[in-house]
């Protein structure tokens, strides 16, 4: 049987418990040192992530070599509280790191932010007994899931019995724990809570339905629970539970906590597409032309415009995060306006990324459509990511409602 080497250790492919038993290295706590260390880590594993991109798509999951590389560098647990052994990076550093990962390999970057966010929620918000179970013996878990409340639950002694089907369990193929959202039935009607529960991966029924046009390597299949018992210590209310562990980042709230995830993906993928067409333009000729496309005035104009649009989108995301961060430093959730602007910036970054990537792809001509070309992967992946509800353009509607002073504005509406 083949094996994958990680430093001095050897791990059998797709043995997630054995990988988790190895743990992650102790990381610096001072921000500048931590930033340098993690950016160096991303650079170290870049060859693995790039080489695995086609295999990820073909296998509809991340390759084991990519999983090991990401995990062993601490890049699947970026938000996990420090007291549980994670780096607990701040949102601006997180934005930078995920941007770099998504630039290299969109599916790997997507799984990295899903796994990091999922594991951090478990560590920061579950009751202590649940945390002790999942992080037992200093283990750093790999978690994934779908927090949309597609499940319904009836109260039972010591917990709930949950039934439902959830889509888009990205990264679940290499996870040990799965999160799922549910609402509690009372008198036959679902309540207003947004409960999240965690279950060991062996208790989950998965469906083989991840045959898609983009983000193929994320393995984002559906999963099912049928009358599944969830103990109280394995669930929390996403809307009302204050962080039990961790620092300011866990006060970002919803949608603020996942804004850097989706914004980083969009910015990284579009930046890669722009770099690809820029590097190819000097040697690529189209049709009967004797000159390269780099000599076309239209391309020069569009590259300059796209560069500025992408930089403006990144600056808007950073501004929204910095504004909300001031609340978090006071152990307060950002107010409604900040939540609306966080999500709005994330949606705007995705809109710009789609436009920039489409421009780069169009100039790439026939060369861009082959499965082994970066531009086609960027094109497919950014458009698949743009379908996510988090970056739905309804966020603009919500922000407009707020500016008009309308009542009952919901940042996740």
**CATH code where residue 115 lies:** 1.10.540.10
Q: Could you tell me if residue 127 is inside a domain?
A: yes
Q: What is the torsional sign of CA 152, 387, 391, 201?
A: positive
Residues 212 and 337 in one domain: no
Q: With a cut of 70, list the residues of the chain below it in pLDDT.
A: 1-11, 288-289
Write down the pLDDT at residue 10.
58
Q: Could you tell me if residue 5 is inside a domain?
A: no
Residues 301 and 395 in one domain: yes
Q: Could you tell me if residue 245 is inside a domain?
A: no
pLDDT, tens digit (0-9, with 9 covering 90-100), for 279-312: 998 887 877 667 898 999 999 999 999 999 999 9
Residues 101 and 16 in one domain: yes
pLDDT, tens digit (0-9, with 9 covering 90-100), for 232-274: 999 999 999 999 999 999 999 989 999 999 999 999 999 999 9
Q: Could you tell me if residue 393 is inside a domain?
A: yes
| Residue-by-residue DSSP string for 247-303 | -GGGGS-TTGGGHHHHHHHHHHHHHHHHHHHHHHTTT---TT-SS-GGG-HHHHHHH
Residues 121 and 180 in one domain: no
Residues 78 and 133 in one domain: yes
Write down the pLDDT at residue 6.
43
Residues 267 and 384 in one domain: yes
Residues 191 and 258 in one domain: no
Question: Is residue 249 within 8 Å of residue 79, measured between CB atoms?
Answer: yes
Residues 39 and 66 in one domain: yes
Write down the pLDDT at residue 283.
85
pLDDT, tens digit (0-9, with 9 covering 90-100), for 130-152: 999 999 999 999 999 999 999 99
Among the candidates 210, 237, 264, a domain finishes at 237
Residue range of the domain that includes 215: 143-237
Range 203-216 burial, b when 16+ CB lie within 10 A, else e: ebebeeebeeebbb
Q: Could you tell me if residue 113 is inside a domain?
A: yes
**CATH code where residue 178 lies:** 2.40.110.10
Residues 38 and 102 in one domain: yes
Residues 181 and 195 in one domain: yes
**CATH code where residue 267 lies:** 1.20.140.10
Phi–psi pair at 251, nearest 5 degrees: -95, 0
| Residue-by-residue DSSP string for 328-371 | HTTT----HHHHHHHHHHHHHHHHHHHHHHHHHHHHHGGGGGST
Separation between Cα atoms, residue 261 and residue 346, nearest integer Å: 9
Q: Could you tell me if residue 246 is inside a domain?
A: no
Residues 130 and 154 in one domain: no
Q: Could you tell me if residue 3 is inside a domain?
A: no
Count: domains in the chain: 3
Separation between Cα atoms, residue 348 and residue 313, nearest integer Å: 7
Write down the pLDDT at residue 11.
66
Write down the pLDDT at residue 4.
43
Counting Cα atoms < 13 Å in the Cβ hemisphere of 170 gives 24
Cβ atoms within 10 Å of 243's Cβ, excluding its own:
18
Question: Is residue 179 within 8 Å of residue 223, measured between CB atoms?
Answer: no
Residues 203 and 273 in one domain: no
Phi–psi pair at 128, nearest 5 degrees: -55, -40
Q: Could you tell me if residue 65 is inside a domain?
A: yes
Q: Are strands 221-231 and 205-206 parallel, antiparallel or unpaired?
A: antiparallel
pTM for this structure? 0.96
Among the candidates 138, 155, 176, a domain finishes at 138
Phi–psi pair at 176, nearest 5 degrees: -110, -15
Write down the pLDDT at residue 13.
83
Question: Is residue 260 within 8 Å of residue 321, measured between CB atoms?
Answer: yes
Among the candidates 138, 171, 202, a domain finishes at 138
């Amino acid at each position: 049987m083949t094996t994958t080497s990680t430093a001095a250790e050897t791990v059998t492919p797709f043995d997630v418990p054995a990988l988790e038993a190895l743990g992650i290295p102790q990381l610096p706590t001072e921000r500048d040192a931590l930033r340098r260390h993690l950016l160096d880590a991303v650079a170290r594993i870049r060859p693995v992530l790039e080489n695995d991109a086609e295999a990820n798509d073909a296998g509809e999951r991340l390759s084991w070599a990519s999983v090991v590389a990401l995990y062993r560098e601490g890049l699947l647990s970026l938000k996990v509280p420090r007291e549980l052994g994670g780096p607990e990076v701040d949102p601006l550093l997180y934005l930078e790191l995920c941007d770099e990962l998504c630039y290299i390999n969109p599916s790997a970057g997507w799984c990295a932010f899903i796994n990091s966010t999922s594991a951090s929620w478990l560590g920061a918000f579950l009751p202590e007994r649940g945390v002790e179970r999942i992080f037992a013996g200093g283990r750093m878990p790999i978690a994934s899931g779908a927090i949309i409340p597609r499940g319904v639950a009836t109260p039972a002694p010591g917990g709930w019995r949950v039934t439902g089907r959830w889509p888009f369990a990205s990264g679940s193929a290499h996870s040990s724990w799965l999160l799922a959202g549910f609402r509690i039935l009372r008198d036959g009607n679902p309540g207003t809570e947004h409960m999240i529960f965690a279950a060991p991966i062996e208790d989950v029924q998965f469906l083989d339905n991840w045959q898609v046009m983009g983000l193929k390597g994320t393995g984002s299949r559906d999963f099912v629970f049928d009358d599944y018992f969830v103990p109280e210590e394995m669930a929390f209310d996403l809307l009302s539970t204050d962080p039990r562990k961790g620092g300011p980042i866990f006060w970002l709230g919803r949608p603020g906590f996942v804004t850097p995830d989706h914004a980083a993906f969009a910015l990284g993928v579009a930046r890669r597409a722009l770099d690809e067409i820029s590097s190819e333009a000097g040697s690529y000729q189209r049709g009967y032309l004797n000159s390269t496309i780099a000599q076309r005035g239209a391309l020069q104009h569009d590259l300059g415009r796209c560069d500025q649009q992408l930089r403006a989108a990144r600056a808007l995301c950073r501004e929204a995060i910095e504004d909300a961060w001031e609340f978090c430093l006071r152990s307060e959730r950002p107010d409604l306006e900040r939540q609306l602007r966080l999500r709005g910036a994330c949606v705007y970054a995705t809109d710009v990324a789609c436009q920039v990537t489409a421009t780069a792809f169009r100039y790439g001509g026939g060369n861009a459509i082959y499965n082994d070309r970066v531009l086609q992967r960027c094109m497919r992946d950014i458009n698949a990511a743009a379908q996510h509800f988090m970056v739905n353009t309804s966020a603009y509607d919500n922000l407009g409602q707020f500016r008009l002073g309308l009542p009952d504005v919901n940042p996740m509406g």
